[in-house]
Chain A
Amino acid sequence: MSETRFKTLRDTPLEDYLTPGSPLCAGCGGQLGLRIFHKVLGRNVVFVNAAGCLTLMFVYPYAPLRSSWMYTAFASAPAGAQGIRDALDILLAKHRIEPDEDLKVVVVTGDGAAYDIGLQATSGAIQRGLDFYYFVYDNEAYGNTGFQWSSATPVGSSTTTTPSSRFSPAGSLAEKKDLFEIWRAHKPPYVATVSVAHAVDMMRKIERSMGMRGPKLFIALAPCPTGWGFDPSEAIRIAKLAVETGVWPLKEAINGETRHTYIPRALRPVEEYLKTQARFAHLFKPKKQQEIINMIQERVNEYWLRVAEAEGITIKLATEVK
């Protein structure tokens, strides 16, 4: 694990496969994540996409990536990857294409496809041991359709379908689905969470997975200025806060064995993260909803106490703000 090309940000590959002129929102964390992912994987990639914001990168006849692209459908991008991978393998085995014509098959979807409508197809692909990458840009809601609740939406977030109202002041009260654990339960060779604010960690993880055959799965927390409600220039700062408050743990599981790749030894209060985004604004105004904020904090504390115990270390929890 010590052998890595990526020691500091200066080791980021210079080649860029994302050309200027993509029509996505400024400061889109999802697109930045894809850009980093692509840099590490190199040019010989075919992306298999399901409906989401990134779908609109490819509007006929324009193509902003220097690689191949296959838009499938909302629910079945992993199955689309299966067809391409299997076909390439058949052609390689029969010597109908040269080995250097091979491509890395990479599913790229948002959380709607990954957590909700495409979960069955993903489960199938992982279980079949398909040799592919899956990159989820998780902006914690259906961003492309205007920010509706998804099963990746965290407690306390308002969305257009879980607004903060007289009847449900907190916004969404459902727990965010733990996709990392669902994927891990399938025992694929590699699963990781990543953050665009921790590019070195992310690049190392991609690099590590590249030596493995089978499903290699990544969930990136993708700050979404449009849906979350913040200035595009804040994207990285917010992504960083998600990690420093402990809301977004950075971890990986190799053949099902989980390890945290970054442990914030002193957690910052979740309130610092929540305050930065309009989707949580109702927790502070017109009246502070301390109970909900405490609840979110408690969940984070519980999580990291378990990590500290397992690792035999101490983590300084954020004190609850009264």
Chain B
Amino acid sequence: MRHKAVMLTGNAAAAWGARLARAEYIPAYPITPQTEIIETLTKWIQEGEMDAKLVQLESEHSMLTAAGTASLTGVRVFTATSSQGLLYGFEMLYNIAGWRAPLVLVNVSRALAAPISLEPDHNDVLAARDSGFIQLHAETCQEVLDFILLAYRVAEDRRVMLPAIVNMDGFYLSFTREPVKIREQDLVDEFLPHYSAVNPFRASRHVAKGSAVVGGHIYSYFKYHMHEALRRAHDVFIEAARSFSRKFGELYHPVSGYMLDDAEYVLVMSNSFATLGKHVVKLMRQRGVPAGLLKISMIRPFPAEEIANSLKGRKAVAVFDQNISLGLGGIIYNEVLGALYGCPKRPEIVLSVIGGVGGKWLSVEEMEKIFDELKRLERSGITKPRPLFLFRRDELTHIERVLKLAGTIEVSHHE
């Protein structure tokens, strides 16, 4: 392709995505680790490099409201938030989807309070999984940029007309520089035609949006329609991804494999830790273990069929969740199980792994442990494994040490 890669943080890549998509309206509100995105956009707008209006609102709730109504009025809208901000504006996610406003929201994942933290996990973005937003989760800074372009194309398609979230991990992507190809503007313009809203607010034609419904059947009618539209987003994405690859080279898929073809032990992952997962798969291969990785990039619509097809016939599968649905376990694990049920040659062993919660660092050893565990389960014939919670002895020791330092007299823990 024409451009060489430059080193960009995930946040800068997100800003480039919005700029290349020619987003015209950016309602904003600062929150770590997202803020760099809106600062970058502000700078470009101030310097005349980007033709857009950025308005700082007084909360994420207002920010999302303004984003939705502007999109309905007929401008391309970009916005970004994280964590507490996403939850503060949460009711508007359902509204924006219900309004069929095809805007793009970047969420920079960050664990939810309490305890308050800055580091990433996916409880924030997965809380929005039932809202009607398309969800694309990025592994790399390049994917952040490219997924924003794809997200607009799919969201604004008349067969879909739903908003999209592009997710990236705080810190591991947001503040990490990686080589990123900034796509050529003329090609992006070809890939992403002008947005035209459905029945926007105009003096010549009056419309009512967001009207109340009375009667569950009318509510159901709308929700079924939205569900169908979101299901259609899957095929529209495949179409868009093909057109994207013709212009830019990379071909994206809702799910993609790494050393998967002949793999017997498969690790299912998403987001930035998938890179570490791939590294460990390579190490396992060097040791003669037929390991592979399945990365899920599209969380909504959930690509259940592709997941089932990719996992059928494998000896053992581990689903890695960087989230915890308290009282249930890993969210993606349960969704993958649902996808596998009814699949003729489904794997007998499906292990739930929970790790990286609150941005907890994952060592190679912890990741290797997952494969050890899969092999152990296979040998012992246990088909209903207990979840594996990744946590190291030295991490516990550290907690004990700081508790002592803080003057806590007794430290007790359960093995």
Query: Any chain B CB within 8 A of the CB of A148?
Result: no
Which chain B residues in 53-74 approach chain A with CB under 8 Å?
53, 55, 57-59, 61-63, 65-74
| A48 contacts partner chain B, Cβ-Cβ < 8 Å | yes
Cα distance A207–B209 in the bound complex, in angstroms = 28
Closest residue of B by beta carbon distance from A23: B214
Contact between chains at B58 and A124 (CB < 8 Å): yes
Interface residues of A in 38-77 (CB under 8 A from B): 43-44, 46, 48, 55-56, 58-61, 63, 65-73, 75-76
Known: A72-B65, A87-B73, A121-B58. A97 touches B211 (CB 8 A): no
Tell me which of B24, B25, B91, B206 has the highest count of chain A C-beta atoms within 10 A of its own C-beta: B206
When chains A and B are docked, how far (Å) is the Cα of A46 from the Cα of B218? Answer: 25
Contacts of A75 in B (CB 8 A): 61
Residues facing A in B89-141 (CB within 8 A) are: 91-92, 95
Residues of B within 8 A of A46 (CB): 201
Residues from chain B with a CB closer than 8 A to the CB of A69 are: 207-211
Question: For B62, what are the chain A residues with a Cβ–Cβ distance below 8 Å?
Answer: 76, 78-79, 82, 120-121, 124
Interface check A229, CB cutoff 8 A:
no
Contact A59–B212 (Cβ < 8 Å): yes
Q: Nearest chain-B residue to A46 (Cβ)?
A: B201
Number of chain A residues close to chain B: CB under 8 A: 47
In the complex, A86 has a CB within 8 A of chain B: yes
Among B70, B92, B204, chain A packs the most CB atoms within 10 A around the CB of: B70
Contact (Cβ within 8 A) A87 B74: yes
Q: B202 is contacted by which of A56, A70, A78, A103 (Cβ under 8 Å)?
A: A103
Q: Does A26 contact B (CB under 8 A)?
A: no
Say whether A70 contacts B25, CB under 8 Å. Answer: no
Closest to B207 in A: A68
Q: In the complex, which of the residues B58, B63, B212 contacts A123, with contact meaning CB atoms closer than 8 Å? A: B58
Min CB–CB distance B348 → chain A (angstroms):
47
Contacts of B210 on A, CB cut-off 8 Å? 69-72
Contacts of A67 in B (CB 8 A): 206
A102 in contact (CB, < 8 A) = yes
A83: contacting residue among B65, B202, B218, CB under 8 A: B65
Please pick, from B63, B201, B203, B208, the residue contacting A79 in the complex, using a CB distance under 8 A: B63
Q: How many A-B residue pairs have CB under 8 A?
A: 145
Q: How far is the CA of A63 from the CA of B92 in the complex (A)?
A: 23
| Contact present for B212 and A58 (CB under 8 Å) | yes
A69 to B208, CA, bound (A): 4
Q: Is the CB–CB distance between A82 and B211 below 8 Å?
A: no
Interface residues on B, range: 35 or more
**CB-defined contacts of A72 to chain B, threshold 8 Å:** 65, 68-69, 95, 210
Contacts of B208 in A (CB 8 A): 58, 63, 68-70
Output the least CB separation between B195 and chain A (Å). Answer: 11
Contact indicator B69/A84 (Cβ below 8 Å): yes
B213 at interface, CB cutoff 8 A: yes
Q: Is B75 on the interface with A (CB-CB < 8 A)?
A: yes
Q: Which chain A residues border B53 with CB–CB below 8 Å?
A: 86, 89-90
Say if the beta carbon of B27 comes within 8 Å of chain A. yes
Contact of A100 with B by CB under 8 A: yes
In the complex, A89 Cα to B65 Cα: how many Å?
17
Chain A residue nearest in CB terms to B27: A83
Q: Give the chain B neighbours of A91 by CB distance below 8 A.
A: 73-75
Complexed CA–CA distance, A65 and B211 (Å): 12
Interface string of B210-254 (1 = CB under 8 A from A): 111110001000000000000000000000000000000000000
List of B residues within 8 angstroms of A3 by Cβ: none
Contacts of B75 in A (CB 8 A): 86-87, 90-91
Contact across chains for B66 and A55 when beta carbons are under 8 A apart: no
Q: Name the distance in Å between A146's Cβ and chain B's nearest Cβ.
A: 17
Name the B residues within 8 Å of A78 (CB-CB): 62
| B203 & A102 in contact (Cβ 8 Å cutoff) | yes
Question: Given B69, B91, B207, which contacts A87 in the complex, CB threshold below 8 Å?
Answer: B69
Instruction: Give complex CA distance A68, B210 in Å.
Output: 11
By a CB distance below 8 angstroms, the chain B residues around A56 are 212
Min distance, Cβ B66 to any Cβ of chain A, angstroms: 4
Q: Are B65 and A84 in contact (CB under 8 A)?
A: no
Contacts of B71 in A (CB 8 A): 83, 87
Q: Are A100 and B65 in contact (CB under 8 A)?
A: no
CA distance A89 to B66 in the complex (A): 14
- In the bound assembly, the distance between CA atoms of A69 and B202 in angstroms comes to 11
Inter-chain contact B55/A128, CB cutoff 8 Å: yes
- What would 7 more interface pairs be, CB under 8 Å, given A84-B201, A121-B65? A58-B212, A76-B65, A82-B27, A82-B57, A86-B66, A87-B73, A101-B202
28 A-B residue contacts at CB 8 Å?
A44-B203, A59-B212, A59-B214, A60-B213, A65-B206, A70-B69, A70-B210, A72-B65, A73-B95, A79-B61, A79-B62, A80-B65, A82-B69, A83-B69, A83-B72, A84-B201, A86-B70, A87-B75, A88-B201, A89-B53, A90-B53, A91-B73, A100-B204, A103-B201, A120-B58, A120-B59, A121-B61, A124-B62
